């Protein structure tokens, strides 16, 4: 159903485009890119594969060739109706798939409303996309999910507040595309799914008026859900005495499933007598306080993640958080931006979970087991976690199970970038993390690791549109393989008139 809805939306947008075909070919951008990665050990260093929208590989050596064409909405900046589209194709070696349609989308904006149909990389406003460790719910670690997305194009000011308060919202439905990959990756008896569906929604409020004050606060909440499709090799609760066969289950793919995803309703087929919510629900509370002085700015922010509902409000306290600070400095040849972050996911409402029963009518909603789920395996797409990559992606699992083995972690992260010369820029990342495993499979001794990245990009002035980027990544510790790796990326862009 959602596939047909997205196809119809893309058709309607295309018809609007064809009605104004005279400007269709204006201000196009063409891009061709090739990249290769080599490592000293069996897996690539962490920051050479993480937070790259799934356009990467964890293998020792890998590479790809990529080509795209796009038309940004800004091409119609002076028009009431704005039209954008893009296609981004990849042929790869030692990646999860040899050929992939990385992005394919059409978008239409009228006033402050924007509709996007298809798969597209979408930046998250609460984190620096180049320097942050990543968001917990909607990150940039995995491949874009095809979806129909309706949102406000920026913040909508409430004029009765004299523009001191503004709102921003989004809702989307889509589908996961990794069913065939799961079938190849997961062991024959492991949990896997196919044709599962995606739902996300968010609302943010901004308090501040940039024309009158340099200080502003932004806060909000976002939800994401995996539901529907079909699943294999599910397990029953220990107290479920029914004769339900869970070897292959077709889940709710009708209108009721879409409604339950939106309203947190329904229940899963292996909930037994204790119905919960249909699907895999995750979400975050986010907030930031920013001071913008024009030539420089500083921002502090937090993200509180919740899995299902136990940490949605304050009942059990908010002990698991991401805290961060981001500074943009006045123009200088050394450092342009700095990000420092700290993450803890050790609590997860505690290690105990108990449903109310006639004998013990007390419910304790603990043991959240972040990202893991009893039907869909875990919060992932094509083997990469959809949120923060430091909750190590299942593609690394030697047992080929869709499980996050390390979701009780602490991490400290620093990112720095600068432009020493108009043709030269750099980026540095350093992350220290420690893992306690998870509540279901705790580690006897904690593991730790250091992940490092040094990146330099060169854009020669004598070769218009060309750039070359070199990355050195290092893993050092006992959580993942100690290794050193290098990647080289060559890109050519061409802007049409």
Report helix, strand or coil for 206.
strand
Report the alpha-carbon distance of residue 459 to residue 425 in Å, rounded. 9
Nearest Cα neighbor of 331 from 298, 296, 299, 290 is 296
C-alpha distances in Å from residue 92, one per residue of 95, 373, 441: 6, 30, 35
Token pair in block for residue 363: 């419910």
User: Phi-psi category of 94—alpha, beta or left, where left has phi over 0 and alpha has psi -120 to 50?
Assistant: left
* Unique residue bearing structure tokens 């499979």: 441
* Residues contacting 319, CB < 8 A, separation 6+: 344, 346, 347
* Residues contacting 445, CB < 8 A, separation 6+: none
Over range 475-493, report the average pLDDT: 96
Share of the chain above pLDDT 90, in %: 74
Q: What pLDDT is attached to residue 267?
A: 77
Report helix, strand or coil for 168.
strand
pLDDT tens by residue, 136-174:
999 999 999 999 999 999 999 999 999 999 999 999 999
pLDDT tens by residue, 99-134:
999 999 999 999 999 999 999 999 998 899 999 999
Q: What pLDDT is attached to residue 57?
A: 95
Burial 420-456 (b: 16+ CB within 10 A, else e): eeeeebbbbbbbbbbbbbbbeeeeeeebebebbbebe
C-alpha distances in Å from residue 379, one per residue of 125, 137, 459: 21, 9, 37
* Residues contacting 359, CB < 8 A, separation 6+: none
Nearest Cα neighbor of 337 from 411, 414, 423 is 414
Radius of gyration of the chain (CA): 23
Report the alpha-carbon distance of residue 262 to residue 2 in Å, rounded. 14
Report helix, strand or coil for 113.
strand
In this structure, the number of other CB atoms found within 10 A of the CB of residue 46 comes to: 30
pLDDT at 237 over 70: no
Nearest Cα neighbor of 75 from 109, 28, 114, 122 is 28
pLDDT at 239 over 60: no
Report helix, strand or coil for 161.
helix
How many CA atoms are closer than 13 Å to the CA of 359, on its beta-carbon side? 1
Strand partners, 429: 415, 453
Q: What pLDDT is attached to residue 85?
A: 96
Look at 240 and 91; give whichever has higher pLDDT: 91
The phi and psi torsions of 155 (rounded to 5 degrees) equal: -90, 140
* Unique residue bearing structure tokens 């975050």: 284
Alpha-helical segments (H) within 153-302: 179-185, 255-263
CATH classification of the domain holding 311:
2.40.160.130
Report the alpha-carbon distance of residue 254 to residue 260 in Å, rounded. 10
The phi and psi torsions of 12 (rounded to 5 degrees) equal: -65, -40
Look at 264 and 268; give whichever has higher pLDDT: 264
Residue numbers of the domain that contains 117: 2-495
Reported as a pLDDT band with limits 50, 70 and 90, residue 29 is very high
Reported as a pLDDT band with limits 50, 70 and 90, residue 264 is confident
Domain count, the chain: 1
* Residues contacting 433, CB < 8 A, separation 6+: 390, 409, 410, 411, 412, 448, 449, 451, 479
Look at 380 and 356; give whichever has higher pLDDT: 380
The DSSP line for 34-86 is EEEEEEEEEE--GGGTTTSTT-S--EEEEEEEEEEEEE-GGGGTTSSEEEEEE
How many CA atoms are closer than 13 Å to the CA of 100, on its beta-carbon side? 27
pLDDT tens by residue, 280-310:
999 999 999 999 999 999 999 999 999 877 7
Strand partners, 200: 172, 224
Report the alpha-carbon distance of residue 51 to residue 391 in Å, rounded. 12
The model carries a pTM of 0.90
In this structure, the number of other CB atoms found within 10 A of the CB of residue 278 comes to: 25
pLDDT at 324 over 80: yes
């Amino acid at each position: 159903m959602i596939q047909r809805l997205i196809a119809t939306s893309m058709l309607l947008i295309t018809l609007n485009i064809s009605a104004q075909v005279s400007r269709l070919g204006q201000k196009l951008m063409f891009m061709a890119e090739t990249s290769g990665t080599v490592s000293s050990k069996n897996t690539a260093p962490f920051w050479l594969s993480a937070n790259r929208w799934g356009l990467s590989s964890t293998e020792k050596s890998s590479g790809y060739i990529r080509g795209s064409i796009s038309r940004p909405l800004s091409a119609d900046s002076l028009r009431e109706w704005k039209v954008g589209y893009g296609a981004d194709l990849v042929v790869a070696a030692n990646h999860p798939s040899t050929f992939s349609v990385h992005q394919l989308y059409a978008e239409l904006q009228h006033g402050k409303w924007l509709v996007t149909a298809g798969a597209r990389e979408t930046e998250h406003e609460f984190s620096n996309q180049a320097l942050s460790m990543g968001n917990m719910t909607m990150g940039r670690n995995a491949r874009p999910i095809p979806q129909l997305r309706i949102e406000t194009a920026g913040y909508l000011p409430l004029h009765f507040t004299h523009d001191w308060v503004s709102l921003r919202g989004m809702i989307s439905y889509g589908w996961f595309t990794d069913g065939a990959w799961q079938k190849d990756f997961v062991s024959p008896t492991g949990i896997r799914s196919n044709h599962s569906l995606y739902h996300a929604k968010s609302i943010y409020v901004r308090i501040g008026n940039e024309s009158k004050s340099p200080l502003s606060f932004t806060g909000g909440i976002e939800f994401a859900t995996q539901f529907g499709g079909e699943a294999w090799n599910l397990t029953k609760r220990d107290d479920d005495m029914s004769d339900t066969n869970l070897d292959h289950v077709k889940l709710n793919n009708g209108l009721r499933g879409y409604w339950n995803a939106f309203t947190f309703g329904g229940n899963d087929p292996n909930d037994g007598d204790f119905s919960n919510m249909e699907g895999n629900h995750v979400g975050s509370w986010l907030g930031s306080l920013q001071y913008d002085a024009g030539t420089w700015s500083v921002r502090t922010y937090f993200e509180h993640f919740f899995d299902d509902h136990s940490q949605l409000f304050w009942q059990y306290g908010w002990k698991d958080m991401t805290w961060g600070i981001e500074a943009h400095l006045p123009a200088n040849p050394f450092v342009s931006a700095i990000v420092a972050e700290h993450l803890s996911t050790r609590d997860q409402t505690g290690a105990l979970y108990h449903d109310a029963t006639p004998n013990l009518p007390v419910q304790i909603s603990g043991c959240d087991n972040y990202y893991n789920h009893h039907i869909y395996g875990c919060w992932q797409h094509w083997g990469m976690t959809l949120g923060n990559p430091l909750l190590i992606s299942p593609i690394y699992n030697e047992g080929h199970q869709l499980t996050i083995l390390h979701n009780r972690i602490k991490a400290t992260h620093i990112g720095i970038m600068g432009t020493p010369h108009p043709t030269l820029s750099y980026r540095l990342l350093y992350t220290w993390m420690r893992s306690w495993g998870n509540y279901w499979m705790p580690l006897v001794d904690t593991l730790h690791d250091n992940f490092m990245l040094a990146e330099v990009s060169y854009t020669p002035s004598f070769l218009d549109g060309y750039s070359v980027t070199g990355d050195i990544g290092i893993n050092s510790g006992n959580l993942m393989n100690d290794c050193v790796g290098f990647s080289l990326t060559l890109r050519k862009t061409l802007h049409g008139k």
